[in-house]
Amino acid sequence: MKMQVDGRKARGDKRRAEIIEATLRVIERDGVAGVTHRIVAAEAGVPTTSTTYHFSSLDDLLIATLISCARDMATEVYWMIDRARSRGSRGASEVAGLLAEALGPRRGRTMAEYELYLLAARKPELRPAARRWLDVLTSMVRHDDEVAFRVFLAGIDGLLIQGLIDDEPPSADELRPVVDYLLKPR
């Protein structure tokens, strides 16, 4: 039982990954509305028919992109939490900094994530992937304050969404008191 020695499949998987990455870049730049076979193909530097060969439809492409995106985000947040926890802090400053980063330099990526998020609201098959990062976080926290944690997660989502329609992204300093209040036990 040997795994993945077929050079053809290896090339195919590689190109599939490149197309997904290109799709994510297109969504960051133009939104989900800007995703077409031709534009994604041009962004990836492959012929148009390559995207239709590897993904049987545009929906399949978006689904694969969301799944990939959600997986990345989940592992990213996983390590962020792990880092903050090992440092012993409750993490208000870390979270505020992460939010500021998500709304500043990584603003396009954040928009893309929420557009895919909303797409999952319309396409049930996307929901498990969209919920993945919530599940990862939930599994990491102790179970005796579940309500507080749900409030925390909702607050993060709300701050991100509201930050996206600000004319200029909020700084970590502006975010910190809000995050601090959000994390304060009562």
Partner DNA sequence: TTTGTTTCGGGACGATCGTTCAGGTAGTTT
Partner DNA sequence: AAACTACCTGAACGATCGTCCCGAAACAAA
Task: Please report, as ranges, the residues that interact with DNA according to CB under 7 A.
Answer: 5-9, 11-13, 15, 35-39, 46-50, 52-54, 56-59
Provide the token pair at 178.
């809000």
- The correct pick among 85, 164, 172, 173 for binding a second copy (CB under 8 A) is 164
Answer with the entry of DNA, a second copy, none that 53 interacts with (C-beta below 5 to 8 A by kind): DNA
Task: Select from 25, 6, 126, 19 the least CA-distant residue to 70.
Answer: 126
Tell me how many degrees the CA angle 161-20-55 measures, rounded to the nearest 5.
120
Tell me how many degrees the CA angle 159-160-162 measures, rounded to the nearest 5.
65
Stretch of residues binding a second copy (CB under 8 A), selected from 36-44, 47-55, 71-79, 174-182:
174-182
- For residues 106 and 25, what is the distance between their CA atoms, to the nearest angstrom? 12
Find the binding residues for a second copy in span 121-150 (CB under 8 A).
121-122, 124, 127, 130-131, 134, 147-148, 150
Task: Kindly state whether residue 105 participates in binding a second copy, applying the rule CB under 8 A.
Answer: no
Task: Kindly state whether residue 3 participates in binding a second copy, applying the rule CB under 8 A.
Answer: no
Answer with the entry of DNA, a second copy, none that 1 interacts with (C-beta below 5 to 8 A by kind): none
- Where does 45-184 have alpha helices with state H? 48-54, 58-86, 92-103, 107-122, 127-140, 146-164, 172-183
> Closer CB to a second copy, residue 4 or residue 139?
139
State whether the Cα torsion 17-22-28-31 is positive or negative. negative
Answer with the entry of DNA, a second copy, none that 162 interacts with (C-beta below 5 to 8 A by kind): a second copy
Q: Is 100 exposed, middle or buried (0-12, 13-18, 19+ CB in 10 A)?
A: buried
Closest CB 43 distance from DNA, rounded Å: 11
* Residues lying near a second copy in the complex (CB under 8 A): 31-33, 111, 114-115, 117-118, 120-122, 124, 127, 130-131, 134, 147-148, 150-151, 153-159, 161-162, 164-167, 177-178, 181-182, 184-186
